[in-house]
Chain A
Amino acid sequence: MTEVSYHRYYCLLAFSDTGTVDYDTTMQTRHLFRLAAMTEVPISVEDWEKAQQEMEDKS
């Protein structure tokens, strides 16, 4: 990465952070609730492929 593009890369990082969501001292009341339903133990690619293979073998 050249010096110029490296600098541009980090400028992009800085501004992409602040350009997406608005929350400052002008904000009015914000009140939400979250309910989160837990599901499966995260499945790795290896475990998924193994399970798929076992299913194929059975059929």
Chain B
Amino acid sequence: MAPSRTEPLDFDAPQPKVAYDINVPYNSGPEEYERRIRENSEFPEYLPVWEKGLWFDDFPIFEYHDPALRADKTKPHLLTSNVKIQAVTPRMGTILTGVKLETLSQEAKDEMALLICERKFVVLREQSDFLHAGPQFQVEFMEHFGKLSRQPVTGAIKGFPQFHVIHRDGNEEEIKTFFKHKMTTTIWHHDVSHERQPPGYIMLGILACPDIGGDTVVADTAMAYQRLSPVFQDMINKLKVNHTSRHLIAHAKASKGAVRCNPIDSIHPMVRVHPVTGEKAIYYNAEFPDEVFGLKDQEAEVITRFLLDFIRMGHDFQARVHWEKNSVVMFDGRTTLRRS
């Protein structure tokens, strides 16, 4: 039988000193804490749960047709006359006000996909109706954009393992402990890049957020690639990288958390080409890669450190998403690296 969080694990690693990612819980809290959180939440059905005995086999490779390739480039179904459009920066990020996600036609969803490809991320304000439409509706909405990934270790919604739930409240002691060992809580990341077909379209729905703080920073990794010299581009074009979920799963096991699948290793190109825009983008993050093919170890250490340092310091190809209540944000996972 596959392991779940309520069964003994054949793993004697010491309990980790700090959270793998302070933004995400890897286990439920004490009963009294859970009860108080449920009573005070506007969305109690979206609080993270770790269901028993849930196990996923590897996804077989599937054929994928990007909805953006079907879209009308002028986007008449999405950008109707009552929609207010605001750019976050000249190059990336668009804020749309007046779109009702729950009523979008198939054509409008295709156009949304194209807008996400072109602008890297789209912020949709005033989505209370969509957020209250329930998990089944939201899953069906997102399935328009691709097959949904299932969470290997983190809390999900009961009956919907496609949901990755980020819920933090009252964990001041954990944060203090974290800062005794770490300098920053933030991780530059791609979502589940260890998948063989990693996510290209990602939705974040905001159920509760502070008035100030907790922003997400987005880096445009296609623009970062363009800033490199042709010689350097040619060199990294040839590299391949192994992305693995081994460390994530080992952390969850050591924390006595849920594990729902075996570790996955996938070899991806260091530079990937966007099938809709044709842009070349650096596909490397600080979390899942563990081996670069095509370089010696010391060379790989220098090159990967340089790439990540360059992306995180390049504030002229980054944008900051400020969360507001009832917002939904959709990202292009192929040409962005995010920090939250």
Chain A residues packing against B (C-beta within 8 Å): 12-14, 16-18, 20-48
Known: A21-B340, A40-B275. A31 touches B208 (CB 8 A): yes
The 12 sampled A-B contact pairs (Cβ below 8 Å) are A21-B340, A23-B214, A25-B176, A26-B213, A27-B213, A30-B214, A31-B165, A31-B167, A33-B138, A37-B203, A39-B66, A44-B271
Residue numbers in B under 8 Å from A18 (CB-CB):
183-184
Cβ of B196 and Cβ of A41 under 8 Å apart?
yes
Number of residues on chain B facing chain A (CB within 8 A)? 81
B143-200 residues at the A interface, CB under 8 angstroms: 143, 145-149, 157, 162-169, 172, 175-176, 183-186, 191-192, 195-200
B313 touches A12 (CB 8 A): yes
| Most central of B64, B214, B278 by chain A CB within 10 Å | B214
Q: How many A-B residue pairs have CB under 8 A?
A: 194
**Chain A interface helix/strand/loop/mixed:** mixed
Residues of B within 8 A of A (CB): 22-23, 41, 43, 46-47, 59, 61, 64, 66, 138-139, 142-143, 145-149, 157, 162-169, 172, 175-176, 183-186, 191-192, 195-217, 237-238, 240, 268-269, 271-273, 275, 278, 280, 283, 309, 312-313, 315, 320, 333-334, 339-340
CB < 8 Å: which of B185, B192, B333 contacts A23? Answer: B185
Do A36 and B192 touch (CB < 8 A)? yes
The 3 A-B pairs at the shortest CB distance, nearest first, are namely A39-B200, A37-B146, A36-B199
Cβ of B339: which chain A residues have Cβ within 8 Å of it?
20-21
Decide: A21 and B214 in contact? CB cutoff 8 A.
yes
Inter-chain CA distance A12–B314, complex, in Å, is 12
Could you say which residues of chain A place their CB within 8 Å of the CB of B22?
A: 23
Q: With A25-B176, A29-B169, A35-B139 given, is the CB distance from A40 to B64 under 8 Å?
A: yes
- B67 CB → nearest A CB, Å: 10
Is B210 within 8 A of A30, CB to CB? Answer: yes
